[in-house]
Amino acid sequence: MGLFGKNQKKIIEDLHRKSEDHCKEITKEIEDLLDDLKTDYDENQEVVNEFSSFVDELKTKLSPEDANKLIDFSSRLSKVKRCAKKGVEAMRELARDQRKLTSETRMEYEEYFYTR
């Protein structure tokens, strides 16, 4: 006779199934968000470079004060780009960690069921 009865084993199997379903749902949601974020980032990746070129063209036609304001704005826009890139990288890491956690959880349940 095993450590757990049939009723407890059924409860654990149900918990395993629910846990796996939740993990898959979260993984899918993270992957969808990552795809959306990557698509948006890729579509707008060159905007900062284009704007910097535009600033270079314009700064000779502006007063020094206005040129400095435009250069400052261009610098802040570059910081926004770096922030967006870090966001994509963080979401990619989150997706990887979620897949890894789902796999580890699945293996733990399978190990439990096969050793009982």
Nearest-10 crossing angle of helices 64-115, 47-59:
170
Mean pLDDT of the region 96-107: 90
Residue 91, Cβ neighbours under 10 Å: how many? Answer: 19
Q: What percent of the chain has pLDDT over 70?
A: 93
Max intra-chain CA distance, the chain: 88
pTM of the complete model: 0.74
- Give the integer Cα–Cα distance in Å for 51 and 58: 10
